[in-house]
């Protein structure tokens, strides 16, 4: 009898602990391709906790991009936002704060009051924002996720999976690389105070770790979507149901190591297709009277070379840069010169046709002057070189089978990264295995910054040069 009584006591002691133990789920993904490298209970619907804020921030980035709101918009804090449970910034009802500070608070501090304020600022109410979250999730292919709020505090029906959160994390990385650094900041100015990252210990301890989001509630356990890049490899690891911060960090490290061991060194980056923005109110219906028999091509504006550059800038994000450049130059070739406004007029002259092989050279001339290569035995394109201020560093963005392909990639990258590559030169150098695409004339800090920004966009990159 004593033995039976002892066993019953043991069951009574441990039963409450087991009832609050969160289920475990995990997924490891090659971020470059979306290939699943490991999964366990990856499609089990569980409480995501503050992993939810990845979607809140994603929609905020999207809204800024579309002009629905700006980073400097003054947001008035509602009573609902101010009353949210911790973690929080401690915002007061009626207080005004810029959106940029709310984004930092939600990303770095995982502040619930900031997340609710973001939702209300964009959609008018948290309920409307949750509907937009669900539409966006569906468009991303997050098939087992339902959002009920913007912060992730436990609510009936607010559920997701390790697979869906991995998909979301991948979209955050590739769709908004200009904002991705928010998720790796150890500290940030959130307007009302400086906040510290919720997972700086793991970021500091794991080589290449740069995000993304932690989450904890009693129902969820300790969750984490993490990402790291080493060389050309980037891995995303997601886990639900850790028993503590230390246990979560240990397990995510094991998952990350597994990912880097299984991921191929080289892989073609297949960026996810960004979902269309779905603001509240739905699409408007436009009724057209009369039958449309044909669609006319808009007449090109007669502003000469500027038209070529403008069309090129609009085509930067296309996959086939060569075709886009060719179309831009052909359009410029048939565009009449502007009429002379002096006493006599000049008859417009059409520009001569341009061969496809001359496209990159002509566009380069339109953007910046070309300096004659210093070595005749090496094929290269050089623009705007500067060696002042220790600008002896550069970056390499790959080796390509043809000079034209290397030049096209350089031009595309230069236009996408004007801010960090401004003042650099583009150089194509022929090697035994192909043509190296390089940017030269950078400082060491500038090369490092440019490389990190390009890697965040999914472009392979490494620094070249020295301080001498």
Tokens for 463? 């620094």
pLDDT number for residue 447? 85
- Residue 394 near residue 442, CB atoms below 8 Å: yes
Q: What is the pLDDT of residue 383?
A: 43
User: What is the distance, to the nearest Å, from the Cα of residue 62 to the centroid of all Cα atoms in its chain?
Assistant: 11
Is residue 96's pLDDT more than 50?
yes
Query: Model pTM?
Result: 0.60
Q: In the predicted model, what is the mean pLDDT of residues 360-375?
A: 40
pLDDT-derived band at 71 (thresholds 50, 70, 90) equals very high
Q: Using CA atoms, how far apart are residues 27 and 25, in angstroms rounded to an integer?
A: 7
Least confident stretch, 57-61, 74-78, 185-189, 449-453: 449-453
Q: Has 184 been annotated as catalytic?
A: no
Percent of the chain having pLDDT more than 70?
A: 71
Name the 3-class secondary structure at 270: coil
For residue 123, what are the contacts with CB-CB under 8 A and spacing of at least 6? 129, 131, 132, 279, 280
Please tell me the predicted confidence (pLDDT) of residue 54.
98
Measured in whole angstroms, the distance separating CA 238 from the mean position of its chain's CA atoms is 18
As a whole number, mean pLDDT of residues 167-180 equals 95
Active site residue 50: yes
To 10 degrees, what angle do helices 359-367 and 321-333 make?
Answer: 70
Gap between the Cα atoms of 434 and 19, Å rounded: 61
Q: What is the pLDDT of residue 158?
A: 98
Residues 255/249, Cβ–Cβ less than 8 Å = no
* DSSP secondary structure string for all residues of 39-64: EESTT--B--GGGGHHHHHHHHHHHH
pLDDT of 460 strictly over 50: yes
Query: Residue 312 pLDDT > 50, yes or no?
Result: no
H-helix or E-strand spanning residue 425: strand 425-431
Q: Go through the domains of the chain in sequence order and give each one's CATH number.
A: 20-262 (3.40.710.10), 302-335+351-357 (no CATH), 368-468 (3.30.70.1070)
Active site residue 87: no
Can you give the pLDDT at residue 21? 66
SS3 35: coil
Candidates 53, 88, 109, 213; catalytic one:
53
- How far apart, in Å, are the Cα atoms of 5 and each of 9, 19, 108, 362? 6, 22, 50, 89
Query: Which of the residues 78, 87, 88, 110 is marked catalytic?
Result: 110
Return the pLDDT at 120.
98
Beta carbons of 139 and 275 less than 8 angstroms apart: yes
CB neighbour class for 3 (10 Å; exposed up to 12, middle 13-18, buried from 19): exposed
Between 54-58, 91-95, 99-103, 435-439, the lowest mean confidence (pLDDT) is in: 435-439
The string of pLDDT tens digits covering residues 261-305 is: 999 999 999 999 999 887 775 433 333 344 444 444 444 444 443
Neighbours of 32 (CB within 10 A): 23
């Amino acid at each position: 009898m004593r033995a039976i009584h002892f066993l019953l006591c043991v069951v009574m002691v441990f039963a409450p602990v087991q009832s609050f133990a969160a289920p475990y789920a995990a997924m490891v993904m090659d971020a470059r391709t979306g290939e699943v490298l490991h999964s366990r209970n990856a499609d089990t619907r569980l409480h995501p906790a503050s992993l939810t804020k990845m979607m809140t921030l994603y929609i905020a980035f999207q809204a800024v991009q579309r002009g629905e709101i700006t980073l400097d918009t003054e947001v008035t804090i509602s009573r609902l936002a101010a009353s949210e449970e911790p973690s929080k910034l401690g915002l007061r009802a009626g207080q005004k704060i810029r959106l940029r500070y709310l984004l930092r608070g939600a990303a770095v501090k995982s502040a619930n009051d900031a997340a609710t304020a973001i939702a209300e600022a964009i959609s008018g109410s948290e309920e409307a924002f949750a509907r937009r979250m669900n539409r966006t999730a569906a468009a991303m292919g997050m098939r087992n996720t339902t959002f009920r709020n913007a912060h992730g505090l436990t609510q009936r029906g607010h559920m997701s999976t390790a697979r869906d959160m991995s998909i979301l994390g991948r979209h955050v990385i590739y769709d908004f690389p200009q904002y991705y650094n928010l998720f790796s900041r150890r500290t940030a100015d959130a307007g009302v105070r400086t906040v510290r990252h919720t997972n700086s210990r793991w970021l500091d301890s794991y080589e290449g770790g740069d995000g993304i989001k932690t989450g904890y509630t009693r129902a969820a356990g300790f969750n984490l979507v993490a990402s790291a890049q080493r060389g050309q490899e980037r891995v995303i690891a997601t886990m639900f149901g850790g028993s503590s911060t230390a246990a979560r960090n240990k397990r995510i490290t094991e998952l990350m190591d597994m990912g880097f061991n299984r991921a191929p060194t080289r892989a073609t980056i297949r960026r996810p297709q960004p979902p269309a923005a779905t603001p509240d109110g739905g699409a408007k219906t436009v009724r057209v009277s009369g039958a449309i028999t044909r669609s006319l091509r808009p007449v090109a504006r007669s502003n000469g070379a500027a038209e070529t550059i403008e069309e090129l800038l609009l085509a930067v994000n296309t996959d086939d840069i060569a075709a886009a450049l060719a179309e831009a130059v052909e359009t410029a070739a048939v565009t009449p010169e502007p009429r002379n406004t002096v006493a006599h007029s000049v008859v417009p002259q059409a520009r001569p046709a341009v061969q496809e092989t001359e496209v990159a050279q002509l566009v380069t001339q339109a953007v910046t002057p070309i300096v004659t290569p210093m070595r005749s035995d090496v094929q290269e394109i050089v623009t705007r070189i500067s060696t002042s201020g220790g600008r002896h560093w550069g970056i390499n963005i790959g080796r390509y089978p043809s000079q034209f392909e290397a030049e096209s990639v350089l031009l595309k990258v230069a236009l996408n990264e004007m801010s960090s590559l401004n003042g650099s030169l583009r150089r194509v150098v022929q090697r035994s295995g192909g043509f190296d695409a390089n940017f030269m004339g950078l400082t060491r800090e500038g090369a490092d910054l440019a490389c990190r920004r390009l890697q965040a966009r999914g472009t392979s990159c490494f620094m070249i040069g020295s301080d001498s």
